[in-house]
Structure 1
Amino acid sequence: MADLSRRQFLSTSAIAATTAVSGPLLAGLKFPFAVENPLTHYPNRGWEKIYRDIFRHDSTFHFLCAPNDTHNCLLKCYVKNGVITRVGPSYGYSKATDLYGTKVSARWEPRICQKGLVLNRRIQGPRRVRYPMVREGFKKWADAGYPRGADGRPDPKYLRRGLESFVRVSWDQAFSYAAKTLHNIATTYAGEKGAALLRKQGLYLPEQISAMQGAGTQVLKFRGGMPLLGITRVFGMYRLANSMALMDAKIRGVKANQAIGARGWDNYSWHTDLPPGHPMVTGQQTVDFDLFDTEHSNLIIAWGMNWIATKMPDSHWLTEARLKGAKVVAVTVEYSSTANKCDEVFVIRPATDGAFALGLAHVMIKEKLFDATHVKTNTDFPFLVRVDNQKLVRAEDAVPGFKPPTMRRDTIVRAKGQGGLPTIKAADKQVIGQGLLDEWGSYVVWDAKAQKPVAVTREDHGKYAVATGVDPALEGTFEVTIKGQTVKVRPVFDLLWQYLRDSCDPETISRITWAPAKAIEGLARQIAANQSKTLIATGMGPNQFFNNDLKDRSLFLVCALTKNIGFHGGNIGSYAGNYRAAYFDGMGTYIAEDPFRLQLEPNKPVNVKQYFKFESVHFWNHGDKPLKIGTKLFTGKSHITTPTKSLMVCNSNSILGNVKGHYDVVVNTLPKMEMLAVNEWWWTGTCEYADIVFAVDSWAELKHPDATASVTNPFLQIFPRTPFKRIHDTRGDIEVQQGVTEKLAEVVGEPRFKDVYKFVRENQTIEYLQRIFNSSTMAKGYDARDLETKAKDGIPALLMSRTYPKIIGYEQANEEKKWYTKSGRLEFYRDEDEWIEHGESLPVYRETIDATQYEPNVIVAKPHPCIKPQPL
């Protein structure tokens, strides 16, 4: 064949191709059909097969989607050729029941959000952690036998986190590295020798080193991220922390009753999710309500909460309530997606939420829109305060012949040394030590009828206070005799009204918040007109500032004045992530099972003893030190942190990836640590700086059952074991804990370590779930195996709460039960020294740091006898 040039070849090929296709293409041209009714007849529907083939699946299964958004949704996966092609709702929520057969409505269907619809892209995504890995420098340090300098610290060349590659290791190797490092660190810092090394390092306060009590295990920290999201696999981190007492006993040669476990890090408070004013006012960790309680409300206020965007599966309850006639208001710093659904929108200056609430309270009191009887009998407003030292007057000091009651209603009083009671045994009663009751004392009000001071005990609240016949004065200045001296006193309400009257009128608050004064007045009147029918749902925006307790106390003030706490349709709530482990108040049988006396038989009583201690990550996030200025240690003796030398964490990227002050933590705090081990299934910023990364299962791959619940809905939900094959070389979070303890058995020479997760090893993890259920007030009676079977069909159960929707404060508002406070009432006045020193004994408005160009976070107030902040 003669050689063809490139030009000739291309020309010949083009002609040939045109000839080949021109006939069929022209032949394929057809005139359009005239179809009168395509619903009765449509020609040539063969093309639909392509889409049916794409949509067709080989199998389905259910799994529980449970990020930290509080919702928890059982979802249905559709699998084709071993790949999850799509995710949809289970349509099983309308079948949920409790132990009594109580059913829910079909309005929970379909339960899914935009995140869930595309979750298959993350389960099968490119950032999955595919196998266990160890950082290169850390591996060299461990392989070299953990060499240390004269002060006990590793050479910085081994600590180049974020700058090195990771090395793939086997699971056996990963467990071995973790176990050997934990043992080495605990041994290094044990006893006086370890304390001397820590002092030589010069990184910690003497109080921190003393708090270790000689136990090297106290520098080992463990954290289950948002542990309610997995009560065995995530809360299991604290079981692991408790088991470290076995190692301490071996290292120091002490008996079990002298052994000390590790430290367990918190979540809810450190994330700034816990609204600190809630426990100050109520004694409750947080007051909240299931979001579908909007069904019972007339006025709904989304305050700093972008409900539509952050509570997606439950956003329809808000919009449906509005359709049914409820008025919806947004208090926000921007025009959000929630604002788009509201009747009124208040766009205020950031961090001025407390001021806005105080402006509302001013209007309510000025116009007498509050429930006087309610505040007299259910709050501390009538309690007398000494004008000279800002302390509450105690009946023991001011009422001659006063004796505290010997009978305490709805209370189990424990003598000194008796300890507490499991909540399931306490049932509906509060458990309080006699020593605490003696320390708290009783209070004094001024009886407007008898014109004299009268004692008020913890028993005198609500209808029981009315029954005494005392009419407490809310305003005025009086004199009482205390230890032979005449002292001027005023009711809390009187002091509060003076502050509101002088400093919080609508015009002043308008200048602070930018909200129109007339609008402030209008909203105050609307709330007052909807007594017990106003819901205030606050979000995390207002919580992310210093002094945020003042915002909570001010919001509670508005709700207390208008009787909107603890009622269906009338309540206050704060919403962030999932937190209320108290739903499973039998958790102690799992995380605090005595590792020296493990119960190795199913269906038998468990020995409980807590060897580990909880600690807040606030300290670590503050350079791994408590707050101390000069000689003043602000934490006091009860909350001293210990030095942090290792951390094992699961189910969380907040510890590093999105930590506040990321640069400071990575550059200044992280180098003090010697091991950071992370369980993760999606590569995060925390993984990037870790020493060991354990690759764990996604929710769709779990091979061990687990359970969770929520603060925004009524469901008790199981993570069912799924038939979906693991995509990568992963293990379950709880299997990682089991693997580490089994290696510790070898390294430490303590065989009991091997049995810490015995039922996991035997693939009977559900036994731990059942133990928790059996000891929990809201889960007792449920069979964990039965619930898992239903979850595999996409059906949840209902928590055994007393109401549906479940709401906090119901018993106090409707059944005259006491709040969990010193007085048994809602408390707005704080007479502890810290509050008085800072000028915050009353709910006041304080500018947050950096709120203005003037910098100092000043209290906005005219001269007041109870607002006298002291310099350090």
Structure 2
Amino acid sequence: WVRVSHDEAAKIVAASLKNIAETYSGEEGKRRLRAQHYDEEVIQAMRGVGTQALKFRGGMPLLGISRVLGLYRMANSMALLDAHIRKVGPDAVLGGRGFDNYSWHTDLPPGHPMVTGQQSIEFDLSAVEHCKTLVVWGMNWIATKMPDAHWLTEARLKGTRVVVIACEYSATASKGDDVIVVRPGTTSALALGLAHVVLREKLYDADYVRQWTDLPILVRMDDLKYLRARDVFGGKPAELKNTRVLKPGENEPPPAAQDRMLISEQLREEWGDYVWWDRGSRSARLLTRDMVGKNSRIGDALLEGTVEVTTADGKKVRCRPVFDLVKEYASHFDPKTVEELTWAPARAVESLARHIARAPGTTLFTVGMGPNQFFNNANKDRDVFLLAALTGNVGKIGGNVGSFSGNHRASLFNGAQQYMDENPFDIELDPAKPARRRQYWRPESAHYYNHEDHPLRVGKKMFTGSTHMPTPTKSLWFANANSILGNVKWHYNTVINVLPRIEMIAVQEWWWSTSCEWADVVFGVDSWAELKHPDMTASVTNPFLQVFPRTPLKRIFNTIGDIEVLALVGSKLAELTGDRRFLDYWRFVRENRTDVYLQRVLDNSTNTRGYKFSDLEAKAVQGVPAVMNSRTTPKSIGYEQIADSWPWYTKTGRLEFYREEDEFIEAGENLPVHREPVDSTFYEPNVIVAPKHEAIRPAGPEAYGVAPADLSCETRCGRNVVMPWTQLRRTAHPLADQGYRFIFHTPKFRHGAHTTPIDTDMIAVLFGPFGDIYRHDKRTPFVTEGYVDINPSDAKELGIHDGDYVWIDSDPEDRPFRGWQNNKRDMEFARLLCRARYYPGTPRGVTRMWFNMYGATPGSMEGQKNRTDGLAKNPRTGYQAMFRSGSHQSPTRGWLNPTLMTDSLARKGLYGQVVGKGFAPDVHCPTGAPREAIVKITRAEPGGIGGSGLWRPAALGIRPRYESGSMDRYLKGRFLSGPSKE
């Protein structure tokens, strides 16, 4: 490492961006990429434009509308660089590519847009005051939503029934009236089991089903598509009142001026209208996307059974309502089967289903990050929504589904494109005027970078849709994040097999994280308390608009602001190219008028128009926040659909539980099915659990030229095999006979900040029971260290004592990285070595490790070997690892799910009311699966000091399964004396 000035570092980054863009432009650029063995589809996605290999990421941009979202503004300015290199005009250039956030973190619930068309549904957590029942599903609210924890406990005090569903006895479980501990990755099966009871006992809200869902719509049994009105009645699609149809070439208005949904004329023709069957008249009836809620004309609709419908050309086609298809599938998930499959007691399934159905519209489902982080997470969402819709619990203040994982909704500032997408060829330098937008940058899922820049191909089948196709990653510049590199999924494969192909990595940080260890250039930037440029943020869980005011505090070190780094690199690009527009693009930063950009965002955002940033900043100095001007308080996504009878952002305008797109039919997921996890299962992975069903007709492995018995990791992603539970339960994970028999999952811990730990020593010691400020055992990497939670009975079977060191190994095919078998040097720091903690709160077969901790690097290994104190601390950078080797990411992998890469799914875009289809960043794209790992655990060393004997707390008899007589008396409350009433 060489310490240089920010100015010198900016010169290096600017020169690197220019060099890389030049190197990979044109036909010569294509030749170079082919020589590096990139997929041809990936090369063609470049379109011969070198700037498309430049990747940018502002980590969680809602947390900094100017300083973090500025990375995407920088990506947009790369259009100027393309114009300079290829000598083309503004209509022929492209900018860089910007990586996603919400979906990259696996926070996106990908089934939400499948059902609602919306990115996600959520509500302010204070809404729990308005519900009668709260189902906390896979969300460790008490540990990860600490500022909002009081809403849960206070609602319970006021009479709300709290039901906690988790894969362990979590901190939140202690606040529940009822607790259901389930097998990880089986949320969809449990939701189907609850829906089964509601359907079997006819407890569903029939009016809600008819008014708001696609369940009455007829599906053709010949091609498994919705029956279209044009098939039956002929003619053109009906005129719509609640949707504006854009003519070819007609531009959409800015997001804040969009007062209803917009779709293109082409999509309106393609999607058409739909059909339901009127039992009274025994005839087919027209259904448009206007006909929802009070505008619904569905009366006595056929919900169960089969009908033959005569089409406009005189043919007869057999059809079934979606409701009938779903009910038949859900009938497989009776309470006894669900108990075997999920571990949820049958009587709990029955009682909870009846309880929810007893009071329609009064149950809130708060679903957390945990269920999101499995491969088949979309089905989890579709099935939870099914249960909620059957009981009238979508879109109401006291009855709704909410996903709570990540602070993501940048669209709260839907005028952000004023800043992010200002046209770099037509820059507005009058601070009183709005910018003119033109987006030259292109979004891309970071999951392809994590997948070695490869799309998903299984056999002869390309699963990655053309709208999703990545480009080669030749530079990566990011800020406000450790998740994209330091705590990336499949971390060791990324740093060993991906980074050598990336020619520049630039990081902006104020804390030396794992990402800094692997970067080429690190810009030291201001911490939150040192910001000299104002900024603003908001939240998906509360109503506040919060401003970061300019601080009078002096900088601790020689840092500059994140946004100043961007402006500085822009100035160096101006010098290199002679184009002063690189300077003007950041003029208000250089003039200390960053508030101009923020005011433009406020003026053009639906929720903030009318606010003056100067007023907000002045109040922020006094500690006074503002409130977002949302429709309701608490805000609740979906409220307008139900209260005002507005369509959902789907083809039908309804909550859709049937997916008619070819990709879903081919995957066997046209119905909201349960699929086993792709790795974290004791059974054959990724199997569709279903009896014979005429609507489930997936393309099997043979259709792709793959052997049916091929269960390799990549093949698994696109392997469609159907089994009933009675057959599946007799199978085993392909590695089970080699000792890989533990599910390994990695939730967040309370003493951490997103994808970083708190590595100041006095806080770090709070990470579990292995904190020792004196480091009596010199093997420990720091004053604390990473550990795995394991059920004591499992540990004893393996000969592992509480506190012992263990090796944790995942699928040897490609973990901890591809090619480890012939790379002992890198395997030394990549293989996971950690402590084992006895934890009775986790079921047998399920292990847990917090995912915040800093992993081992070559530098930390060097520190262990060469430092006199043995700290796992890089002697050159001071980076402090919390593992002796490896990390929680050693067993993880990059996974790509075919149904998250379609070109056909209807969904709303990020910022406005336009409904399109196919890829949309943070809406419809891959999410990965960081909790998918089946592992083998092997004892490495005794836990006692220096590797001798028992770990001291176990030897003292104060740990589970080692209880001394005194500890036993304490646990039974016998340390108390006096009358029992006292």
**CA–CA separation in structure 2 for the residues paired with 1:313 and 1:729:** 33
Does the 8 A contact of 1:402 with 1:455 survive in 2? no
**CA–CA separation in structure 1 for the residues paired with 2:580 and 2:22:** 18
- Alpha-carbon deviation of 1:850? 2.6
Does the 8 A contact of 1:219 with 1:262 survive in 2? yes
Q: Which residue of 1 aligns with 2:644?
A: 815
Once the two structures are superposed, residues 811-861 of structure 1 have per-residue CA deviations (whole angstroms, 9 ceiling, x without a partner) of 111111110111100000001111111111111111112343433321111
Does the 8 A contact of 1:298 with 1:533 survive in 2? yes
**CA–CA separation in structure 2 for the residues paired with 1:710 and 1:785:** 21
Q: Which residue of 1 aligns with 2:23?
A: 188
**CA–CA separation in structure 1 for the residues paired with 2:552 and 2:674:** 55
SS of residue matched to 1:313:
helix
- Alpha-carbon deviation of 1:469? 6.3
Does the 8 A contact of 1:186 with 1:220 survive in 2? yes
Query: Which of 291, 305, 320 is equivalent to 1:490?
Result: 320
Matches within 5 A, 1:55-94: none
Partner AA of 2:164 in structure 1: A
For residues 851 and 214 of structure 1, do their structure 2 counterparts lie closer, same or farther at Cα, with a shift above 3 Å needed?
A: closer
Q: Which residue of 2 aligns with 1:641?
A: 470
SS of residue matched to 1:535:
strand
SS of residue matched to 1:541:
helix
Q: Which moved more, 1:381-390 or 1:796-805?
A: 381-390
**CA–CA separation in structure 1 for the residues paired with 2:688 and 2:6:** 56
**CA–CA separation in structure 2 for the residues paired with 1:597 and 1:423:** 20
Partner AA of 2:228 in structure 1: R
Q: Which residue of 1 aligns with 2:265?
A: 434
Q: Which residue of 2 aligns with 1:832?
A: 661
**CA–CA separation in structure 1 for the residues paired with 2:194 and 2:477:** 46
Gaps of 5+ in 2: 705-982
- Alpha-carbon deviation of 1:253? 0.5
Q: Which residue of 1 aligns with 2:615?
A: 786
**CA–CA separation in structure 2 for the residues paired with 1:859 and 1:623:** 28
**CA–CA separation in structure 1 for the residues paired with 2:395 and 2:298:** 25
Q: Which residue of 2 aligns with 1:88?
A: none
- Alpha-carbon deviation of 1:870? 1.2
**CA–CA separation in structure 2 for the residues paired with 1:694 and 1:484:** 70
Does the 8 A contact of 1:264 with 1:612 survive in 2? yes
Task: Check if 1:667 corresponds to 2:496.
Answer: yes
**CA–CA separation in structure 2 for the residues paired with 1:793 and 1:827:** 47
Once the two structures are superposed, residues 448-481 of structure 1 have per-residue CA deviations (whole angstroms, 9 ceiling, x without a partner) of 011011121112122212xx36421101111013
Once the two structures are superposed, residues 273-295 of structure 1 have per-residue CA deviations (whole angstroms, 9 ceiling, x without a partner) of 10010000000100000000011
- Alpha-carbon deviation of 1:570? 0.8
Query: Which of 489, 506, 515 is equivalent to 2:335?
Result: 506
Q: Which residue of 2 aligns with 1:275?
A: 109
Once the two structures are superposed, residues 710-740 of structure 1 have per-residue CA deviations (whole angstroms, 9 ceiling, x without a partner) of 0000000101111110000111100000000
Does the 8 A contact of 1:376 with 1:474 survive in 2? no
Task: Check if 1:451 corresponds to 2:282.
Answer: yes
Matches within 5 A, 1:150-299: 166-202=1-37, 204-299=38-133
Percent identity reads 57
SS of residue matched to 1:638:
helix
Matches within 5 A, 1:516-531: 516-531=345-360
- Alpha-carbon deviation of 1:402? 4.7
Partner AA of 1:187 in structure 2: E
**CA–CA separation in structure 1 for the residues paired with 2:434 and 2:124:** 34
Q: Which moved more, 1:527-536 or 1:343-352?
A: 527-536
Task: Check if 1:421 corresponds to 2:253.
Answer: yes
Once the two structures are superposed, residues 523-543 of structure 1 have per-residue CA deviations (whole angstroms, 9 ceiling, x without a partner) of 001111231110110001111
How large is the RMSD of aligned CA atoms in angstroms? Answer: 1.1
- Alpha-carbon deviation of 1:188? 0.9
Partner AA of 1:261 in structure 2: G
Task: Check if 1:694 corresponds to 2:523.
Answer: yes
Query: Which of 340, 345, 355 is equivalent to 2:174?
Result: 340
SS of residue matched to 2:188:
helix
**CA–CA separation in structure 1 for the residues paired with 2:560 and 2:456:** 39
Once the two structures are superposed, residues 11-31 of structure 1 have per-residue CA deviations (whole angstroms, 9 ceiling, x without a partner) of xxxxxxxxxxxxxxxxxxxxx
**CA–CA separation in structure 2 for the residues paired with 1:846 and 1:638:** 26
Partner AA of 1:725 in structure 2: K
Query: Which of 560, 568, 582 is equivalent to 1:739?
Result: 568
Matches within 5 A, 1:560-709: 560-709=389-538
Does the 8 A contact of 2:242 with 2:290 survive in 1? no
Partner AA of 1:670 in structure 2: L
**CA–CA separation in structure 2 for the residues paired with 1:853 and 1:175:** 51
- Alpha-carbon deviation of 1:413? 1.9
- Alpha-carbon deviation of 1:633? 2.1
- Alpha-carbon deviation of 1:171? 1.3
Partner AA of 2:138 in structure 1: G
Q: Which residue of 1 aligns with 2:237?
A: 404
Does the 8 A contact of 2:276 with 2:302 survive in 1? yes
Query: Which of 363, 369, 372 is equivalent to 1:543?
Result: 372
SS of residue matched to 2:689:
coil
SS of residue matched to 2:467:
coil
Once the two structures are superposed, residues 576-598 of structure 1 have per-residue CA deviations (whole angstroms, 9 ceiling, x without a partner) of 11111111111111111011111
Q: TM-score, normalized by length of structure 2? A: 0.71
Partner AA of 2:265 in structure 1: Q
**CA–CA separation in structure 2 for the residues paired with 1:635 and 1:569:** 39
**CA–CA separation in structure 2 for the residues paired with 1:852 and 1:328:** 28
- Alpha-carbon deviation of 1:330? 0.1
**CA–CA separation in structure 1 for the residues paired with 2:356 and 2:438:** 48
**CA–CA separation in structure 2 for the residues paired with 1:362 and 1:768:** 52
- Alpha-carbon deviation of 1:629? 2.7
Partner AA of 1:300 in structure 2: L
Does the 8 A contact of 2:238 with 2:273 survive in 1? no
Q: Which residue of 2 aligns with 1:153?
A: none
Q: Which residue of 2 aligns with 1:37?
A: none
Relative contact order, higher structure (CA 8 A, sep 6+): 1
Does the 8 A contact of 2:290 with 2:646 survive in 1? no
Once the two structures are superposed, residues 469-527 of structure 1 have per-residue CA deviations (whole angstroms, 9 ceiling, x without a partner) of 642110111101334432211101001111111x1111100110111111100000111
Does the 8 A contact of 1:348 with 1:515 survive in 2? yes
Partner AA of 1:803 in structure 2: T
For residues 470 and 564 of structure 1, do their structure 2 counterparts lie closer, same or farther at Cα, with a shift above 3 Å needed?
A: closer
- Alpha-carbon deviation of 1:603? 0.8
**CA–CA separation in structure 2 for the residues paired with 1:436 and 1:200:** 40
Gaps of 5+ in 1: 1-165
Q: TM-score, normalized by length of structure 1? A: 0.79
Q: Report which of the two structures shows the higher radius of gyration computed on alpha carbons.
A: 1
Once the two structures are superposed, residues 560-618 of structure 1 have per-residue CA deviations (whole angstroms, 9 ceiling, x without a partner) of 00111111111110011111111111111111101111111111131111111000001
Does the 8 A contact of 2:211 with 2:298 survive in 1? no
**CA–CA separation in structure 2 for the residues paired with 1:499 and 1:436:** 31
Structure 1 runs (4+) deviating above 6 angstroms are none
Partner AA of 1:812 in structure 2: Q
Does the 8 A contact of 1:299 with 1:530 survive in 2? no
Q: Which residue of 2 aligns with 1:313?
A: 147
